Amino acid sequence: MSDKNIPGHLYAFFANVMWGLMSPIGKSALLFFDSLSLITFRVVGACVAFWTLSLFCKKEKVAPKDMLRIFIASFFALIFNQGLFITGLSLTSPINASIVTTTPPIFTMIIAAFWLKEPITSKKVLGILLGAAGASVLILGSHSGGFGSGNMIGDLLCLGAQLSFAIYLTVFKSLSQQYSAVTINKWIFLTGTLVYLPFSYKEIGLIEWSTIPTSAIMQVLFIILGGTFLSYILLIKAQSALRPTVVSMYNYTQPIIATFTAMAMGVGMFDWQKGIAIGLIFAGVYIVTHSKSRADMLLKK
């Protein structure tokens, strides 16, 4: 049975459009802010946005047992995920960080097999391999220096962030089917705020705002509103509609976004290599989308 939930696919795609812009924009913002301050801006800013939006939405009562699950989910979806990624990004190159973003589909497929009993089919494996190959060709082909100014610790931290996110997509999928995106995110980001703020408020207080250019402030605003607030709403909507492996496959679109962004800025150009890479990525997404789910397997019995 193919997955024909078009809105779910659009939610996943546009969430990854935002995240595809995060590596270059985040790396640029790190020229003016340390990683802990940038993480705190992102978490606290999104927390304020979600709680403000919740004032205009239908109130949802969260059961105590589900509140505990949301609390635990916040560590995988946000605290470990964003903390490890931005810290890793501060140590490694955007190229390496982009390469590492191709790993969640693999992690998600394995975790879903154990946690959700989702089958590891030949189609899934083929689709993930095609997507990974396409993303690697696109990233490495656009950077003649290979891995650039990468750093092993930074790369491992970014890898840990992707594993954390894969756990969130799989283990906590049911939350997205019980509560709205606003309800889940306002509690997730409140938890993140309570964790990060005590460790970062001193550094934030020492920032000399008069020396910060307007462009850097605009980059932080994009990270808060686009790369966090909007993208996390879209993610939960996609998570409630699609299988975890399908949602994670859209990570492969992030290098495509980065490529077209470079072209729009006049620092990149389209060639046959990029065309092949993009074709491989979309072929991989298509194959995984049309692979059999656990429900499909049960129907055959």
Q: Please count the other Cβ atoms lying within 10 Å of the Cβ belonging to residue 125.
A: 15
Q: Which residues of 205-243 are buried (b: 16+ CB within 10 A; e: fewer)?
A: eeeeeeeeeeebeebbebbbbbbbbbbbbbbbbbbbbbb
Q: Is 21 part of a structural domain of the chain?
A: yes
CA dihedral 161, 87, 261, 243 (to 10 degrees): 10
Q: Is 244 part of a structural domain of the chain?
A: yes
pLDDT band at 217 (very low <50, low <70, confident <90, very high): very high
Token reading at 65: 């047992």
For residue 295, is pLDDT > 70?
A: no
Q: Is 300 part of a structural domain of the chain?
A: no
Q: Is 297 part of a structural domain of the chain?
A: no
Residue 10's pLDDT is 92
- pLDDT, tens digit (0-9, with 9 covering 90-100), for 117-144: 777 778 778 877 887 777 677 666 655 4
Residue 263's pLDDT is 65
Question: How much of the chain is in helix, strand and coil states, percent to nearest 5?
Answer: 80, 0, 20
Mean pLDDT of the chain: 80
- pLDDT, tens digit (0-9, with 9 covering 90-100), for 150-184: 567 877 888 888 889 889 888 888 898 899 999 99
What percentage of the chain exceeds 90 in pLDDT? Answer: 27
pLDDT band at 271 (very low <50, low <70, confident <90, very high): low
Which domain covers residue 234, as residue numbers?
6-291
Q: Is 262 part of a structural domain of the chain?
A: yes
For residue 146, is pLDDT > 50?
A: no
- The 3-class secondary structure across 135-201, one letter per residue, is HHHHHHHCCCCCCCCCCHHHHHHHHHHHHHHHHHHHHCHHHHHHCCHHHHHHHHHHHHHHHHHHHHH
Token reading at 141: 């082909």
Q: Is 17 part of a structural domain of the chain?
A: yes
Distances (CA, A) of 94 to 20, 22, 58, 60, 184: 11, 10, 40, 39, 30
Q: Is 221 part of a structural domain of the chain?
A: yes
At position 23, the amino acid (one-letter code) is S
Average pLDDT for residues 60-89, to the nearest whole number? 89
- pLDDT, tens digit (0-9, with 9 covering 90-100), for 16-62: 888 888 777 877 888 899 888 988 999 999 999 999 999 998 889 99
Range with the largest mean pLDDT of 125-139, 144-158, 215-229, 278-292: 215-229
Q: Is 301 part of a structural domain of the chain?
A: no
> 10 in the Ramachandran plot: left (φ > 0), alpha (ψ -120 to 50) or beta?
alpha
Residue carrying structure tokens 């927390």: 47
Residue 99's pLDDT is 66
Question: What is the domain count for the chain?
Answer: 1
| 129 Cβ contact list (under 8 Å, min separation 6) | 284
Angle at 100 between CA 96 and CA 105, to 5 degrees: 160
What is the value of pTM for the model shown?
0.75
Residue 148's pLDDT is 44
